Chain A
Amino acid sequence: MTRSIVARPGAANAGLLRSETAVAVVVFFALALLPGVASGYVVYIVPQYLLYGMLAMSLALLWGFGGILSFGQAAFFALGAYAMGLAQHWDMAVNPAYVALLISIAVGGALAGVVGYFLFSAGVRDVYFVLVTLALSIMTEQITISQSDITGGYNGMFIPRMSLTFGDASLDLSDDVPMYYTILPLTIGIYALLRWVLASRFGKVLIGIRENEDRVLSLGFRTPLYKTAAFAISGAIAGLAGALYGTHASFVSPSLAGVLFSTQVVVWVAIGGRESLLGSLLGAVGVAALSNYLTAITPEYWQLVLGIVFVLVIMAFRGGVAGALGGLTAPRRPETESG
């Protein structure tokens, strides 16, 4: 039997969540100080990892807390990046990058909502849903390849760094430090937003659906609506992360929509700990950072190790790294009264 974090909403979980919150505060504080102590390359690359983390959190919401596995989050991510890429050609009074961000969120959410409702309302779940998301990922990749007039096809699209505009003032994010301090707060914001969502009535029902959907249905909840909403939220966040990634990395190509990247997200979340937002975030950051470092040295062996770790995690460590650690910090059980 695996020792996994039980996400227990309500008083019982307060101890555990308080510890995750404590860890999160420490982590974000450390991240805020990072540019002061780290080299230029680190300041450049960490925001990208944070955006992967944002993408991972979107999957954690859906899978870790809703029990809905998706192999297609990359599709929303890529669409967001392409939207940001297209925005560079727009001539408008408002900062086109802002519009691109809004579009990414809206389109990601709407697309996920429509597809989600279409499938969940018919009871398409579990494996069948996974297959459909896999197919959608492939379709998105194909579309981005084929519509090369718009997307640049295989060659991809170059995307300039956006600027933040406040009225007449504007801050160009071409430098890594201002970019870092734009993406970090957004990541923290999304984390806080998702924590809030999970603590709400909606979040509790979602967790119930993960645990026993039939029981939730029989209690009078219209579960397809909740699942659709979860998918829509995750699609919107993935779209946002993608748009930011596009402007940060300054480049997007069809492989960002593809199956291999989509399933990488699943690997990050599984290893980091799917039932922990912070675990998923750090799982993405950690694995991506290690990949970046080790791929230069030994790509196949690293990917092989990663694959083996993934299999081990699924077999024996359902809670991922966060679960393994969380088991060590679980609150003591209260004494039971007699009678």
Chain B
Amino acid sequence: MQTALSVLVDSTLITFVFALAAIGLAIIFGLMGVINMGHGAMLTLGAYFTWYTTSAGVPFAVAVLLAACGVGLIGLLLEHFIIRHFYDRQFETLLLTWGFFLVSTEIIKIVFGTDLRTVTNPLPGAAHLGPIVVPAYQGVVALISLGLLVGFALLLFRTTVGIKIRALVQNAEIASLLGLNVGQAYKLVFVTGSAAAGLAGGLISPMLSVDPYIGNVFLVRSFFVVIIGGIGQVLGGTLVGSFLIGGSETLFALVSGQVVAQTIVFALAILVLRFRPTGVLRAE
């Protein structure tokens, strides 16, 4: 029997998992406006790279970082050869990134096979903080997730690079007149978002069995997280959105079961999208 406290803990941990999964999209879609339907595939790739390298004996933390770099590299290739020709065409970008999902999923199946894979939990056990029991690994992931969000927010709002990126996003034409290399900046943002997705995939991999479609669970949800949280609101928006999409599902599931909870959350997300398309948080 779940106590209220343990439910809250679960809900919070899930919120951070969703936030972690959404960061890459918050950067690519939220910041750049690029519809990345391959976001789920990037998560999946991160998970598979992590599995592959840990199976070869590489320590988990290193494996995850390698996965992030690997997916970042893939993102670079994707951007350079395909995406950068379609920045002003949203529909094409949507379909092309979906094509990327199709292609990369098949390549994963060919290279890694379709059997379920497991990544061993590098931090089994739980921490007991008074009455609260927090699974150790999930707790660390939550902290990493929070750290990344804060880090990106600081990067965007407190550093020169961040300010330039935000200027670029507001108005590419003026930014280029001000001497900003627009092409390079876009590449940087896209690669960062891809790497973040790869990282998330790697970190999430011990929590689920890894199959070629693992990332897709997070695809639609990540879009909802970003849209409902508020496009461009990397820190607060992602957290609020993650709670509304992820954490609340856990709460609903208490009363109604997993599937109905999911349906309710999606239905609510659609309602929010329709009535408040700029997101739940007030735009700056």
Contact = CB atoms under 8 A, between A and B. Distances in A.
B186 interface: no
A131 B106 contact: no
Nearest to B266: A135
Interface stretch (A5-13, A179-187, A297-305): A297-305
A127 B35 contact: yes
B190 interface: no
B84 interface: no
Interface string B247-279: 000000000010110110011011001110100
Given A124-B273, A126-B90, A300 B110 contact: yes
A118 B94 contact: no
Contact of B102 (A124, A132, A136, A310): A310
A315 B82 CA distance: 8
A302 to B, nearest CB: 9
B173 interface: no
B263 A266 contact: no
Interface string B84-95: 010000111011
Interface in A108-129: 118-119, 122, 124, 126-128
B171 to A, nearest CB: 21
Most chain B beta-carbon neighbours within 10 Å: one of A130, A136, A267 = A130
Interface in A282-319: 300-301, 303-304, 306-308, 310-311, 314-315
B92 A314 contact: yes
A127 B94 contact: yes
Given A69-B91, A311-B96, A300 B106 contact: yes
B107 A304 contact: yes
A206 interface: no
Nearest to B223: A131
A325 interface: no
Interface in B29-45: 35
A126 B94 CA distance: 10
Interface residues of A, number: 36
Contacts of A60: none
B103 A263 contact: no
Contacts of B259: 142-143, 145-146
Contacts of B216: 259
Contacts, number: 93
Interface in A84-140: 118-119, 122, 124, 126-128, 130-132, 134-136, 138-139
Contacts of A306: 102
Contacts of A136: 270
B258 to A, nearest CB: 8
B274 A124 contact: yes
A270 interface: yes
A2 to B, nearest CB: 11
B151 interface: no
B98 A304 contact: no
Nearest to A118: B274
Nearest to B262: A142
Contacts of B132: none
B100 interface: yes
A126 B35 CA distance: 11
B224 interface: yes
A254 to B, nearest CB: 11
Contacts of A310: 95, 99, 102
Given A142-B263, A315-B82, A119 B274 contact: yes
B80 interface: no
B143 interface: no
Given A127-B94, A314-B96, A303 B106 contact: yes
B270 A311 contact: no
Contact of A308 (B90, B103, B224, B273): B103
Given A122-B274, A135-B269, A145-B259, A127 B90 contact: yes
Contacts of B67: none
Contacts of A314: 92, 95-96, 99
A124 B277 contact: yes
A222 B263 CA distance: 32
Given A135-B269, A142-B259, A270 B110 contact: no
Nearest to B270: A132
A300 B98 contact: no
26 contacts: A69-B95, A122-B275, A124-B273, A124-B277, A126-B90, A126-B91, A127-B35, A127-B94, A130-B94, A131-B220, A131-B223, A131-B224, A135-B270, A136-B270, A138-B220, A139-B263, A146-B259, A146-B260, A259-B216, A300-B109, A304-B106, A307-B99, A307-B102, A314-B92, A314-B95, A315-B96
Closest 7 pairs between A and B when the two form their complex, measured CB to CB? A307-B102, A311-B99, A304-B106, A307-B103, A146-B259, A314-B95, A303-B106
Interface of B: 35, 82, 85, 90-92, 94-96, 98-100, 102-103, 105-107, 109-110, 216, 220, 223-224, 227, 257, 259-260, 262-263, 266-267, 269-270, 273-275, 277
Given A124-B277, A130-B94, A146-B260, 18 more contacts: A126-B90, A126-B91, A128-B273, A131-B227, A135-B224, A135-B270, A146-B259, A266-B95, A270-B95, A300-B106, A301-B106, A303-B102, A304-B107, A306-B102, A311-B100, A314-B95, A315-B82, A315-B85
